[in-house]
C-alpha cells in the first residue's frame, strides 16, 4: 500500500487499499474485526478522493460519498 496521494492517483483510485482489505480477510479467515486498520485506511483514501475530485468522482473501490460518511461516523472517523 502506497501513500495517500499515490493511492488516490492509482487507477482505479484507492484500489491498493481495497486489495489490502481482501488480503487481510483471506489471511484472517474472513474475520473482519482483524482488518480494521485496512478498512480505516480505505475510508481515509476514499474521503480524500471525494474531497479532491468532488462527490461526482467515481471509483469501484469506494462506497458512495453519503454511505462513506455514514460508515466513517459509525467507526468514529472524522469525515
Domain count, the chain: 1
Cα(42)–Cα(5) distance, integer angstroms: 13
Q: What is the pTM of this model?
A: 0.91
Cα(54)–Cα(36) distance, integer angstroms: 26
How much is the pLDDT for 2?
78
How much is the pLDDT for 40?
97
Structural domain boundaries enclosing 29: 4-75
Percent of the chain at pLDDT exceeding 70: 96
Q: Cell 486498520 sits at which residue?
A: 37
Cα(8)–Cα(47) distance, integer angstroms: 10
How much is the pLDDT for 32?
94
Q: Return per-residue pLDDT of the chain as tens, 79 residues.
A: 679 999 999 999 999 999 999 999 999 999 999 999 999 999 999 999 999 999 999 999 999 999 999 999 999 986 5
How much is the pLDDT for 77?
82
CB hemisphere CA count around 32 (13 angstroms): 2
Cα(51)–Cα(53) distance, integer angstroms: 6
Amino acid at each position: 500500500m502506497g501513500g495517500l496521494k499515490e493511492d488516490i492517483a492509482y487507477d482505479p483510485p484507492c484500489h491498493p487499499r481495497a486489495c489490502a482489505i481482501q488480503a487481510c480477510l483471506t489471511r484472517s479467515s474472513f474475520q473482519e474485526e482483524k482488518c480494521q486498520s485496512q478498512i480505516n485506511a480505505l475510508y481515509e483514501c476514499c474521503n480524500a478522493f471525494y474531497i479532491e475530485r468532488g462527490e461526482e468522482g467515481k471509483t469501484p473501490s469506494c462506497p458512495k460519498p453519503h454511505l462513506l460518511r455514514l460508515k466513517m461516523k459509525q467507526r468514529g472517523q472524522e469525515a
